[in-house]
């Protein structure tokens, strides 16, 4: 293994082994190549995926490479590019009802970040989705909104739906399903935890039961029964839906869960939810999850749980499921909604829908709160925290701004602990007042 040496402000790989012996010509070539890649990263080379492929390919051939060397090269790239002037392109889809208010507060926080990070500029493009799009264009997701989203670094969504649009043939939710499918947002991440322990008393469960709950639900988002073949009731009194999953689809979502579990030290346990005692698709799911974890993530443990049993555990002893929970589209939808009640308000929980592993912190994703459009809520009453925490996830997973994402999370905790809260958290502050307080706290933390 070569040694990483430091001289002044310069860092380089010296051609000396751990034992102090001079390296062979082949190993010297390896280190020269490493330096070349490192200097490429310093110049702000944007093709991190290319660097990764070359480095991993080389590690098994003519250029032996250790993981700490690879991580150093990639971190050098990230720190170098972070110092340069960058523009982050974000498509904003406010959607319906409270969607406009909560996205405004999220943008307020991002603008607060750019005010203390002059090297970062956020470019916002607003487009229609959901019922608002139906009213204006007749479709729940206009082509221009979809095309803009494909070109963006990330998408911020408010909420879609409402009783106005009923359950007709053209519905707001179809826009959300379409954008997920078109952008291949196959993994939905929904954390279930407490932004602050001061919120424990708000949970419908006893504080001693929910304290320490820390679950990340990973839901497969573009397959299964929601996208399967179906038949509507055509007057014959019969309707049906079908669920189909392939091995590759299950492997893909399992890799996401495995990756997230390995980001912690020690690694988090993985829980896989299914209905393998009844459904053929669940039996394929269980088998594939088991094999993928065993073959690709040998240091992880995976435990299988029937979905109905998991639902009972979640309300009886939620900390038992701490870790990464993986589920198919429908089961993940149901269990994540159940989990969202634990912290005491739907206005607290964020979500991210990703198109790839966030292994370079630049995965494309769509970010939205877990709550709906709340059509009956008066103006100024909606809690913006879930949307603002979704922005924190965006910063960390898609925009390569981990420090800023952590700062947003700290700011949220500070504001909630100070008592600045909306009515759902037994507070008296308005939506904009909470947003203002969090934006101010972010500035102070990053200053």
The answer to whether 366 and 157 are in contact (CB under 8 A) is yes
- What is the rounded CA–CA span in Å between residue 341 and residue 314? 11
| Catalytic residue from among 308, 316, 359, 379 | 308
* Closest alpha carbon to 122 in 95, 77, 79, 91: 91
Task: Please state, in angstroms and rounded to a whole number, the distance separating the CA atoms of residues 142 and 129.
Answer: 7
* Antiparallel, parallel or unpaired: β 240-241 and 230-231: antiparallel
C-alpha 181/C-alpha 168 separation (Å) is 21
Cα–Cα dist 33/380, whole Å = 58
**SS3 label, residue 414:** helix
- Of the candidates 333, 396, 413, 424, the residue annotated as catalytic is 333
Catalytic site residue 287? Answer: no
* Secondary structure percentages of the chain, helix, strand, coil, to 5: 50, 20, 35
Our answer to whether residue 226 is catalytic in this structure is yes
Q: CA triplet 383, 421, 324: central angle to 5 degrees? A: 60
Q: How far is CA 192 from CA 4, 54, 311, in A?
A: 40, 37, 14
| Start-end of H helices in 372-425 | 385-397, 402-417
d(CA 190, CA 435) in angstroms, rounded, equals: 22
Helix (H) or strand (E) holding 307: helix 307-316
The answer to whether 359 is a known catalytic residue is no
Residues 6+ apart with CB under 8 A from 125: 89, 90, 91, 92, 148, 152
Is 333 known to be catalytic? Answer: yes
Closest of 60, 62, 79 to residue 11, by C-alpha = 79
337 catalytic, yes or no?
A: yes
From the candidates 63, 186, 226, 367, give the one annotated as an active-site residue. Answer: 226
Instruction: Report the run of H or E that residue 220 belongs to, with start and end.
Output: strand 215-220
Q: What's the half-sphere exposure (Cβ side, CA atoms, 13 Å) at 95?
A: 31
Choose, from 244, 275, 440, 443, the residue flagged as catalytic: 275
Active-site residue among 181, 214, 241, 337?
A: 337
Please tell me the distance from the alpha carbon of residue 245 to that of residue 326, in angstroms, as a whole number: 14
Angle, helices 67-83/25-42, rounded to nearest 10 degrees: 20
Helix (H) or strand (E) holding 121: strand 120-126
Catalytic residues: 226, 275, 308, 333, 337
């Amino acid at each position: 293994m070569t040694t990483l040496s430091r001289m002044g402000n310069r860092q380089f790989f010296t051609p000396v082994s751990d034992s102090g012996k001079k390296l062979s010509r082949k190993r010297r070539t390896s280190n020269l190549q490493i330096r070349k890649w490192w200097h490429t990263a310093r110049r702000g080379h944007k093709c991190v995926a290319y660097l990764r492929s070359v480095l991993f390919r080389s590690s098994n051939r003519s250029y032996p490479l250790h993981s700490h060397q690879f991580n150093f090269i990639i971190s050098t790239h990230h720190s170098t590019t972070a110092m340069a002037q960058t523009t982050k392109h974000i498509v904003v889809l406010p959607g319906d009802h409270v969607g406009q208010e909560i996205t405004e507060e999220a943008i307020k926080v991002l603008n607060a970040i750019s005010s203390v990070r002059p090297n970062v500029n956020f470019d916002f493009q607003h487009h229609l989705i959901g019922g608002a799009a139906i009213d204006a264009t007749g479709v729940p997701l206009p082509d221009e909104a979809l095309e803009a989203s494909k070109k963006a670094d990330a998408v911020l969504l408010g909420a879609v739906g409402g009783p106005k649009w009923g359950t007709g043939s053209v519905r707001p939710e179809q826009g959300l399903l379409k954008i997920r499918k078109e952008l291949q947002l196959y993994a939905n991440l929904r954390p279930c935890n407490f932004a602050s322990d001061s919120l424990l008393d708000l949970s419908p469960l006893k504080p001693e039961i929910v304290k320490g709950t820390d679950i990340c639900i990973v839901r497969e988002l573009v397959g299964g029964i929601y996208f399967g073949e179906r038949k509507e009731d055509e007057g014959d009194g019969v309707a049906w839906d079908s669920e189909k999953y392939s091995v590759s689809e299950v492997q893909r979502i399992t890799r996401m869960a495995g990756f997230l579990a390995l980001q912690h030290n020690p690694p988090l346990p993985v829980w896989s939810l299914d209905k393998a005692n009844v459904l053929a698709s669940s039996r394929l799911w269980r088998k594939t999850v088991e094999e993928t974890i065993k073959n690709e993530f040998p240091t992880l443990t995976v435990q299988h749980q029937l979905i109905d049993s998991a639902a009972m555990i979640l309300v009886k002893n939620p900390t038992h499921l701490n870790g990464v929970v993986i589920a198919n589209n429908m089961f993940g939808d149901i269990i994540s909604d159940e989990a969202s009640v634990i912290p005491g308000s739907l206005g607290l929980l964020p979500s991210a829908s990703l198109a790839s592993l966030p292994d370079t912190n630049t995965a494309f994703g769509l970010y939205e709160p877990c709550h709906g459009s709340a059509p009956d809520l008066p103006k100024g009453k909606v809690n913006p925290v879930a949307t603002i925490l979704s922005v924190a996830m965006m910063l960390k997973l898609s925009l390569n701004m981990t420090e800023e994402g952590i700062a947003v999370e700290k700011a949220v905790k500070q504001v909630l602990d100070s008592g600045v809260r909306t009515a759902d958290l037994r507070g008296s502050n308005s939506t904009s007042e909470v947003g203002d307080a969090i934006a101010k706290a972010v500035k102070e933390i990053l200053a």
